Amino acid sequence: MRSTFGGIETSLRGLRAQQLALDLTGHNISNANTPGYSRQIAGMTATDPYAVPTMNRNAIAGQIGTGVMVDQIRRMRDEFVDRRTQFESASLGYWDARQRNFDQLEVTMAEPADLETGASIGSQLNEFWDALQKLGNANRPDNAAVRSVVREKAINLCDTIRSTYNQLKTLQQDLNTEIGVRVGRVNSLAQQIAGLNGEIAKVVAMGDHPNDLLDHREVLVTELSKLTAISVQSDELNRYSINISGMMLVNGDASFALETVANANGMYKAVWAYNQQPVNFSDGEIKGLMEMRDVEVPYYMKALDEFTETLVTAFNDQHELGYGLDGLDGRRFFEAGSDASNITLDAAILDSVNGLNAIAASLSADPQAVGNGENALALANLIKNQPFAALGGASLSDFYGGLIAKLGVDAEKAKVTHANQKTLIGHLQNMQESVAGVSLDEEMANMIKFQNAYNAAARMMTAIDETLDKLINGTGIVGR
C-alpha cells in the first residue's frame, strides 16, 4: 500500500530538482563571459512510479508517479566543431606567424620607401645613381660640391645596406628565441592537459560529469592546436591521447617533453626528450616561425649579399678604369671583399682631405679636361642598365626591385590567407557558441521557470501538510 506520506516525498524531490536547476542557472549566468565555458543544464527524469507491476500487487487504478530527479548535469558542447576548430587552428597559427613576420620584413626592408626619410635601399640606390648622373653631366666634374654629394650618397647607401642586413639577422635571432618559447609552451600545455586527464578520469570513474574540468581542458587543447597540428583521441574515462605527427605528446595522465637543441649557428631545433628524435611540426605557429627563420629571412639575407657583392665588384672594376682629379687610376670605390654586413667605401674615398679627388669620374688621362665625367656615367649605367649573370641577368636596380616585389607578393598572400583562416575560425566559434554559449535572456527565463516550479512544489508540500494535520489532529477523537 502506498504510504500516507508519499506526497511529501514527491514534493521534496520536486524541491530538490528545481533547486539544483536554479543553482545551475546561477552558475551559467556567473560564467556568461568566461572563455571556453559551456553552459550546463539539469537533465530531469521522472522517478520510478508506484507500484512495480507484480502478480500480487495491490489493486489500484494504475501506477502513481513519485516525483522527479536530476539524473545528470549535461554539458552542452559540439565535439565535432571542437575537433574541426582544432584542425583549422593549426593553419591559423601557421599563417599568423608568417603574416606577422612578413609585416616585420617589410618594415625592415623599409618598402615601400618612406617618402620623407628615403630610408630604404631602393631609394638610397636611386639617389646614388642620380648623384653619379649629375657628376657625369656636370660642366665642371671637378666641382667639390657635386663630388661631395656622390660620396655622401654612397655612404648613405652603405649604411642602409648594413643596417638592413643586421636587422634581418636580428629578426632571425628573434624568431629563434620565439621558437624556444613556443616549444616551452607546448611542454607546459601538455603537462596541464595530462594533469586534467587524471582528474577527469577520477570523476568519470565515480559516475559523475566533470563539466568544468572538460571546459578547462578544451581551452588548453585549442591553444595547443594553434602551436602545432595535433591528433586527439579519447578513452572510456574521457582521457585525451594527443600526438604530433604520430609521436605521443600526452597519453592519459603522462606527458612527453620536447627539448630545444642549438646547432653550430645557435639555431634551435625541437627534439623529443626521451629519444632525441626531431619533432615533425606539420602545421601550426611553430612551423610558421621555423619557415620564416630558416627559409624566408635567409632568402632575403642571401639576396642582399648577392646584390652587395655584385655592386662592390662591378663598381670597383669600373672605378679602377677611371682617373681621379689627382691623375691617378686603379683605385677601388668600395672596400674590396665587402658584403651586406660590412660594406663600406674604400679608405682612399673616405679620406677627409683627398677623398673627393680620388673619385674617378673621368676616363681621360687628362682628368682636368672640362666636362669629362664619362666614368661617372659608366658607373651610373651599372646601376640601371647593366645586366649581371650573378643576378640572373638583371641589373642592380631591377634585381632589388624584383626582391621587393617578391616580398610584397609573399606578404600579401600571408595577409589574405590569414584573414580567410581567421574568418573560418570565427565561423566555427559562432557555431560552437550557438550550442555552448550562455544566453542571459534564456537563463533569466529558466530562472523564472524553475523558481515558479520550486514555489509550486513548496505549495504542494504545504497542502499535504494541511491535509495530514486535518487527518491527524481533526479525526480519531472517539474513545478519548
What's residue 289's pLDDT? 97
Question: Is residue 286 located within the same domain as residue 193?
Answer: yes
Q: Is the residue at 37 inside a domain?
A: yes
On the question of pLDDT at 472 being above 50, the answer is yes
Q: In the chain, how many domains are there?
A: 2
The region of weakest confidence among 130-139, 157-166, 239-248, 315-324 is 130-139
Res. 116: pLDDT tops 80 = no
Both 26 and 105 in one domain: the answer is no
Note down the domain range covering 45: 6-76+438-473
Looking at the structure, do residues 89 and 142 belong to the same domain, yes or no? yes
Q: Report which DSSP code applies to 390.
A: G
- What distance in Å separates the CA atoms of residue 113 and residue 378, rounded to the nearest whole number? 26
Q: Which of 161-165, 265-269, 327-331, 446-450 has the lowest mean pLDDT?
A: 327-331
- d(CA 336, CA 24) in angstroms, rounded, equals 78
Task: Indicate the range of 134-148, 428-442, 456-470 predicted with least confidence.
Answer: 134-148
Are 72 and 94 in a shared domain? no
Cell numbers for 231, please give them.
591528433
Predicted confidence (pLDDT) at residue 476 exceeds the cutoff of 70? no
Report the range of poorest mean pLDDT among 88-97, 180-189, 367-376: 367-376
Q: Environment class of residue 470 by beta-carbon count within 10 Å: exposed (0-12), middle (13-18) or buried (19+)?
A: exposed
Position with higher pLDDT, 233 vs 110: 233
Distance, in Å, from the CA atom of 440 to the CA atom of 447, rounded to the nearest integer, reads 10
Same domain, 465 and 411: no
- Alpha-carbon distance values, 460 to 9, 14, 140, 453, 474 (Å): 11, 10, 113, 10, 20
For residues 387 and 396, give the distance between their C-alpha atoms in angstroms, rounded to a whole number: 8
Q: Check residues 7 and 433 and name the one with the higher pLDDT.
A: 433
Write down the mean pLDDT value for the chain: 90
pLDDT by residue (tens digit) across 374-427?
899 999 999 999 999 999 999 999 999 999 999 999 999 999 999 999 999 999
Q: How far apart are CA 435 and CA 78, in angstroms?
A: 7
Which uninterrupted H or E stretch holds 249? strand 247-251
Residues 378 and 467 occupy one common structural domain: no
For the chain, percent of residues with pLDDT exceeding 90: 74
- The label of the residue with cell 679627388 reads 357
Give the pLDDT band (50/70/90) at residue 75.
Answer: very high
Contact indicator for 293, 172 with CB cutoff of 8 Å: yes
Beta-strand runs (E) in 76-197 = none
Q: Report whether pLDDT(114) > 70.
A: no
Tell me, yes or no, whether 57 and 204 share the same domain: no
What ranges in 228-270 are assigned the alpha helix state H? none
Write out pLDDT tens, residues 86-109: 999 999 999 999 999 999 999 998
Is the model's pLDDT at 119 over the cut of 80? no
Answer yes or no: is 260 within a domain: yes
- pLDDT exceeds cutoff 70 at 313: yes
- Position 229 pLDDT exceeds 90: yes
The yes-or-no verdict on residue 113 having pLDDT over 70 is no
**Residue 479 counted as domain residue:** no
Residues constituting the chain = 480
pLDDT at position 62 over 70: no
pLDDT at position 144 is 86
- 146 and 227 within one domain: yes
CB 10 within 8 A of CB 66: yes
Decide if pLDDT at 68 tops 70.
Answer: yes
Whole-angstrom distance between the N-terminal and C-terminal Cα of the chain? 28
pLDDT for residue 115: 40
Residue 431 belongs to some domain of the structure: no
